[in-house]
Structure 1
Amino acid sequence: MENCFVDFIKIYCKSGDGGSGCIHFYRDKSITRGGPDGGTGGKGGNIIIQGNSHIHTFFHLRYNKHWIAKSGSPGKNNNITGSNGKDLLIEVPIGTVVKNEKKNVITEITRNQEKKILFEGGKGGKGNAFFKNSIHQSPYCAQKGIKTKGCWIFLELKILADVGLIGFPNTGKSTLLSVITKAKPKIGNFSFTTKIPNLGVVKINFDSFLVADIPGIIEKASEGKGLGHHFLRHAERNSVLLFLISSETKNRRQEYFILLNELNKFNSNLLKKKRLLAISKSDLIDDKEKDKIRKIFLKEDITFISSFTKEGLIKLKIKLWKLIKS
């Protein structure tokens, strides 16, 4: 299943060339020296990108990496313009960022059915009928269509979710997602059970918000340890970050600051987002231990939760909803 989650891909795109203009002079039985009537060439096809809410990865592009649009047809006699090349439509998940080879952002797709032209097709060349004037009555010239250049681009997916779950492996992120939503993430008692982001919808009264379970990160993830930290790109679109620290952790404060440090190394703007700290598996500790934890995190708004006993889950959802709306 992990192999199906493709959130980064490189593809080649080339819009269609413009058709050549036509050189032709009108002829029939009664007219032997008619005027120029060569038509204009057709326009080349565009490369268009469109958001599709039913697509969640770039897996469908893995074996189709070359997108070359049709060229416009040449102009014809009798001042007929050549047919335009057919546009090519690339459907992508919502949250797709398009970058050029220098990694500069070209455009982004953030809504379903949002459509943008990535590369325009070349214009068709003018036929000799266009160049006729009072001085040049019989021009024997026409333009060639504009040729387009192909290039490689990068498609990068940043999942659009209101809340991102951040934490070490085995802190209960996937279990929490499965309890507060109808998502069915893979849950196991071993490190890095979650290897791809999982999404779930939390319903609260008549409203709802989207939660993304980001694969666990560890110290020095920025140096490639564990699963690395490239999955943190999905957190860049979250409006709220929910940090999960397990009650079983010996040094909770240190673990929290390791997470903050790894986020800072990836993108310092992540630390500017609204965040909430939750202590998971709180059914394993007593009130005395909870008071100690509160003293450790004096400046943080802490919520104690248990996916097993459902402790604090309603309170957590209310807090998250308020943060999203604030």
Structure 2
Amino acid sequence: MASNNFIDYVKINCRSGKGGSGSGHFFRAKGLPNGGPDGGDGGRGGHIILEGNSQLWTLLHLQYRKHLIAQPGESGGENLRTGAQGEDIIIQVPLGTIARDAETGAKKLEITEHGQRLILTPGGRGGLGNDHFKSSTNQAPTYFQPGEPGIDEYVILELKLLADVGLVGFPNAGKSTLLSVVSAARPKIADYAFTTLVPNLGVVAYRDYKSFVMADIPGIIEGAADGKGLGTRFLRHIERNSILLFMISVDSKDIAEEYQILLSELRQFNPELLEKKRLLAITKADLIDDELEAEIRETLPTDLPTIFISSLANKNIMQLKDMIWQALHAKE
């Protein structure tokens, strides 16, 4: 997934179609010059609809499509003929797309399944024809309803990644290197912080032709929940992962403290994130011997499954896959 093609936030103007007007027509025929009302209803205005597509991973196709304008419904006709509905606009989006009101930030809808269709901006209802208003005391009503106006609004679409396991850690903790080793993904890797600026997804092959999806989340920094760095843009992707794999380098000054800082950032952003299953991988373990590894292990949380790995030396990589697979399929 090329970084310049990964778009996870767009703001668009949505204008649904106006409903068609009802008809005030009266039936006329040879020998029947004063027939009753037969005006049909107006057609509904076009909706703007979002449809889930599991083959999409980005909102890139909407980056330059800033205005979505649906067609109006047609007016009703004679002989109780209902006007045609305005054509809907159907926009395909990746799974994990959330739509919000641009002014209030309120969540409008969320797309989570392939083929799922939800109305983002509903079209105006068509007006009723005069046939609806006839009665015993008013057999020739001239009244008919105009169609309801469409809705003109600004909407924010934001994407949250859907993956089985999300890699969580500070910049340069080895997340991208691990993803490149266990999958065909090729994230940018370098020896400086914030090499990864957008999430990367990789399909990890497992035993007996099984697989799971891993997401390399850009590195968190202390204060990310308050918007430091790219803050909440990074953190929101973590919400859509089944398991969180915390990754901390073995050369960290205090691994336990670094883990608590990461937990604190997640807690401030969304306390529900702490309810997800967590695993801990101590990276770059090829830099230490078994004796030092045992000493470090004594300082780590005892209630957290932990493994020492080295992506470069391929140390415990298969064991890490086993740990992830068991966590994914463990019964609650």
Q: What TM-score, normalized by structure 1, do the two folds share?
A: 0.94
Aligned to 1:69: 70
Contact 1:279 1:302 in 2 (8 A): yes
What pairs up with 1:1-326 in 2 under 5 angstroms? 1-100=2-101, 101-206=103-208, 207-299=210-302, 300-326=304-330
**SS state at 1:163 partner:** strand
Contact 1:240 1:324 in 2 (8 A): yes
Q: CA deviation at 1:306?
A: 0.9
Q: CA RMSD in A?
A: 1.8
Aligned residues: 326
**SS state at 1:319 partner:** helix
Q: CA deviation at 1:168?
A: 1.4
Give the aligned residue type for 1:269.
E
Give per-residue Cα distances to partners, 1:100-155, cap 9 Å, x unaligned.
Answer: 24222222111111111223322221222333333323222211112233222222
Contact 1:217 1:229 in 2 (8 A): no
2-structure distance, mates of 1:200, 1:71: 43
2-structure distance, mates of 1:252, 1:36: 81
1-structure distance, mates of 2:29, 2:229: 79
Unaligned runs of 5+ in 1: none
1-structure distance, mates of 2:4, 2:108: 27
Q: CA deviation at 1:234?
A: 0.9
1-structure distance, mates of 2:114, 2:220: 30
Give the aligned residue type for 2:141.
P
Unaligned runs of 5+ in 2: none
Q: CA deviation at 1:29?
A: 4.8
**SS state at 1:182 partner:** coil
**SS state at 2:157 partner:** strand
Q: CA deviation at 1:298?
A: 4.5
- For the structure 1 residues 301 and 31, does the alpha-carbon distance in structure 2 shift closer, same or farther, using more than 3 Å as the test? closer
Contact 2:17 2:151 in 1 (8 A): no
**SS state at 1:194 partner:** coil
Q: CA deviation at 1:64?
A: 1.4
**SS state at 2:68 partner:** strand
Q: CA deviation at 1:223?
A: 4.0
Q: CA deviation at 1:272?
A: 2.2
Give the aligned residue type for 2:50.
I
2-structure distance, mates of 1:66, 1:251: 50
**SS state at 2:109 partner:** strand
1-structure distance, mates of 2:159, 2:25: 51
Q: CA deviation at 1:28?
A: 4.4
1-structure distance, mates of 2:248, 2:281: 6
Give per-residue Cα distances to partners, 1:64-97, cap 9 Å, x unaligned.
Answer: 1222211111112233221111111121110111
Contact 1:165 1:214 in 2 (8 A): yes
2-structure distance, mates of 1:119, 1:222: 31
Contact 2:168 2:244 in 1 (8 A): yes
2-structure distance, mates of 1:108, 1:51: 9
Deviates more, 1:218-227 or 1:260-269: 218-227
Q: CA deviation at 1:204?
A: 1.6
2-structure distance, mates of 1:41, 1:226: 52
**SS state at 2:18 partner:** coil
1-structure distance, mates of 2:80, 2:227: 63
2-structure distance, mates of 1:140, 1:294: 85
